Amino acid sequence: MLYIDVPKENLKLRVDLFGGIKMIRDKSWQNFEDLISEYIKELDPHARPTKGSGNKGESHDIKTTCGLACELKERNLKSVYNEDWMQKNIEEVPLHSKDIPIVVTRNKENKIRVHMEWIDFWDLYVELYNLRKGRIDE
């Protein structure tokens, strides 16, 4: 990655290896949202951070179509997770949806963790296990 300071507007730009240019937002949590949405774009090319903090009109912090309901939290603490965030995220997923609510956290040591309901983790793990063993639809 190459970072370029643009003094006129005081924006930082990232130039990737393919020549694409993206603005790097000023706030650390915005950069965190950008980072996670870039990972999700591997499965969902249209994934993007939602508009604004507090998500006026959009639920979750990352808009996806790949089955994840993502809430992101970053704190300058060693221990970041708060159960209230998970509960709010679960409540925002409609009952008819198959989206998996997750809370992605980043702490002061820059460690990123994913928090989810046990049953969602277990269902994913069983599916992965069966896929690795060559078992389909078990």
Task: Tell me the pLDDT tens digit for each residue of 87-100.
Answer: 999 999 988 999 99
Q: What is the pLDDT of residues 100-119, one digit of tens each?
A: 999 999 998 999 999 999 99
- Report the candidate in 111, 117, 64, 65 with the shortest Cα–Cα distance to residue 86: 117
What is the value of pTM for the model shown? 0.72
The domains of the chain, with CATH numbers, are: 28-132 (3.40.1350)
Please state, in angstroms and rounded to a whole number, the distance separating the CA atoms of residues 51 and 61: 8
